[in-house]
Chain A
Amino acid sequence: MAVEQSQDAAPTTARLAADGVFKVFGAKPEKALEMAAAGVPRDEILRSTGNTVAVRDVSFEVTPGETFVVMGLSGSGKSTLVRCIARLTDVTRGTVTINDRDLTAMNELELREVRRKQMSMVFQHFGLFPHRRVIDNVAYGLEIQGVPREQRHAKALEVLDVVGLGGWGDHYPQQLSGGMQQRVGLGRALAVEPEILFFDEPFSALDPLIRREMQDELLRLQADMHRTIMFITHDFDEAIKLGDRIAIMKDGEFDQIGTALELLANPATDYVREFTEDVSRIKVLTAWHVMKPPAGEAIGATVGVNQPIDEILVVLLAAEDAVGVEDLSGALVGVVDREAVISVLDTES
């Protein structure tokens, strides 16, 4: 997703950071917090205090235009983390900053302002408004900001085209399939032109085929928009496909943060290794994972930026030397040579 293909929207400059974030559920979290900070296991804290430590000492930074994926199994605290970052729930300890402004210290008015102008969220179960037509769902954020009806509808129509729902504006959400409903959710988030987008398992409720389609759609959109994205998933393949960097979360903590290649090459813990082991590298890694910037070398054939390695292999074997990598609009954005592919094959054991 690091593909440069800037067309309309200027890349965002929004930088998102979390520093030492803890979230403890239950009354009187102080003692549980101390224990969590001291490294006592989650079960033990729950047993002795009755508090659930959902997020423990999480720090990370998402650079402008980056897609940061948090991957973990159910119950590992992913939703709680993204809700803390978006301040749908308050952190127990730690800070969250957007462009160095402390989100955790904002009052209600400042928070509303930031939410209106800078961030949006896409939800796992869509969170659509069933009583509003699709167009009014998409225009909701603008309506909240007080944008006049005609203007916000014009923008909503534009966004509906972008997410592939042109002509569906007058329908109600229930009349749409699951995949289309999530397109509405996506369009609703995009309509306010946020700099930062949060996704909490947005495609988990969809069929595998539709899920892949939506992932491709997001890749395509992000190639144009360059938003700062925090994306939650429990699907490692999805993480690799979408993430510039991936954090593996377990029991409320980050085990490792790295690019897909880094995780695959050097899993930091046994837990991370469990995920990477089963992954077929040549199927999930694509051209953009392994490509280098073009440096004027002779290029025989070209491949698409999102084509997996196993497809590139065939092209590479037939080609004289390196193959070029084209983005969605056909522009040359990189090259893949034999060494790059061999290094991937090396880690496949």
Chain B
Amino acid sequence: MTATSTTDLTSLEASWMERYRHWILLAVGVVALQAAFGWVEAFPALLDNTFSDPIDSFGRWQQSARRTHWLFTGLFTPLSTGVGWALDTVESFLLWLPWFILPLGVFLAVARSQSRKVALVAGLAMLYPGLVGLWEVTIDTLALMTIAVFFSVTIGVPMGIWGALRPRAEKIMRPALDAMQTVPAPVYFLPMLMLFGIGRVPATFATVIYALPPVVRLTTLGIREVAGQAVEASEMFGATQRQTMLKVQLPMALPTIMTGVTQTIMMALGIVVLATLLGAGGLGQEIMETLSQRRTGRGIATGLAVVAIAMVLDRIGRATVVTDRASLPSRRTTLIAAGGLVGLTIVGFVTGLTEFPELWDTKVFDPIDDAVVWARDNLSWLTRGFNDIVVGQF
């Protein structure tokens, strides 16, 4: 009898926690921030019934503390420098490569385990942004994506492993992950701005936070799903927990983990456009600009570039999940392909074909702009009536 009533109580507690977890987390977050930055130094302003005051004063405080407080000098500033350096490196490397290497590399990476046709489409998708004159902004976005996804995976996979090994840790993590996904992304932007200022670095971190949950979740799931007998077989050979994890559980969970990584990539790409608000630049900024200039055609061209990148990353993600190992090309073929890419890179430099040739640019989409303008000017007799009705109602 006692046992039953305890379970009832805990389940009641759980559902209560569940219902309010976003608010609880928000409250915990606020308190944690305050603790970190010190009631002592900054704002005893919680008593103020306006919420903006403490944030303002925090803003003022962090401006002055940026150069002095240990949290900045010891943590955020070096972190920011490091990530900024990584972004620059990846971006300049991608731009340094002769332009045709990237589409070709995408083709080969996908063709390794998928059909030629799928690989060809992925390669062409990688080519597209260059064809419409968006090569550099796309590379900009790609660099941010690469770094953000790299962080998401290097943080997310260990978290997922931890969750799989310790059910209690998973119980704590799950609501936090839910909250990370359900809270609208711009909510992260403010703290990111305060901690890292404006630019690509805070955009990267916001992206990492937003994109983290799928890879954590699917890593945990993937490890849990590994057939019990395979794990027991490993144990029966006297394997340590670590050996079993590295040699059996993780490799067997890899397809599921990669599904998580693919989802993470998609989440990251979704946020990259919004991250323009933090000064991320790249395709997002291009879209914002075309939107504000009402250049519909160019907006569409840029939007398609985002779609193309999404497709490329998704295909590469899928291609790494190999279900039929036997059909993989031999190590020799792989080496030849890699060698070919290096060779072509050299050829590219020798022949001077490094920059994307100016074929077209977004101007090819100008007819769409014209069409939209024409429609606005000439079809007003059609739309006005509708417009009047709608406007007239309010």
Contacts and interface: CB of A to CB of B under 8 A. Distances in A.
Interface string B223-260: 00001011011111111100100011001101000000
A131 interface: yes
A263 B134 CA distance: 83
Nearest to A175: B326
A115 B232 CA distance: 12
A101 interface: no
Contacts of B254: 131
B227 A127 contact: yes
Contacts of B324: 174
B391 to A, nearest CB: 63
Contacts of B168: none
B232 A123 contact: yes
**Interface pairs A-B: 10 shortest CB-CB:** A127-B229, A116-B238, A115-B238, A127-B233, A141-B237, A112-B238, A131-B251, A121-B236, A123-B229, A144-B239
Nearest to A108: B240
A171 interface: yes
17 contacts: A112-B238, A113-B238, A116-B237, A119-B236, A123-B232, A125-B227, A127-B233, A129-B230, A129-B247, A129-B252, A132-B251, A140-B234, A140-B237, A141-B237, A144-B237, A145-B238, A171-B326
Given A123-B229, A131-B254, A88 B236 contact: yes
Contacts of A123: 229, 232-233
Contacts of A120: 236-237
B325 interface: yes
Nearest to B323: A174
Contacts of B237: 115-116, 120, 140-141, 144, 192
Judged by DSSP, the binding face of B is helix
Contacts of B243: 144
Interface of B: 227, 229-230, 232-240, 243, 247-248, 251-252, 254, 324-326
Contacts, number: 72
Given A120-B236, A140-B237, A144-B238, 4 more contacts: A115-B237, A121-B233, A121-B236, A129-B248
Contact of B236 (A86, A124, A145): A86
A321 interface: no
Select the residue from B232, B254, B324 with max chain A CB neighbours within 10 A.
B232
Given A126-B229, A131-B254, A88 B326 contact: no
Nearest to A140: B237
A143 interface: yes
B257 to A, nearest CB: 13
Nearest to B243: A144
A116 B239 CA distance: 8
Contacts of A112: 238-240
B252 A131 contact: yes
Contacts of B234: 140, 144
Contacts of A168: none
A60 interface: no
A24 interface: no
Contact of A172 (B235, B251, B325): B325
A144 B232 CA distance: 14
A114 B252 CA distance: 26
A128 interface: yes
A207 B252 CA distance: 27
Contacts of B227: 125, 127
A201 to B, nearest CB: 12
A147 to B, nearest CB: 12
Interface string A278-321: 00000000000000000000000000000000000000000000
B229 A130 contact: no
Interface in A17-59: none
A117 B240 CA distance: 14
Contact of B232 (A88, A141, A172, A174): A88
Given A88-B236, A144-B243, A125 B229 contact: yes
Nearest to A28: B3
A143 B247 contact: yes
Interface string A142-184: 0111000000000000000000000000011011000000000
Contacts of A129: 230, 233, 247-248, 251-252
Select the residue from A113, A115, A124 with max chain B CB neighbours within 10 A.
A115
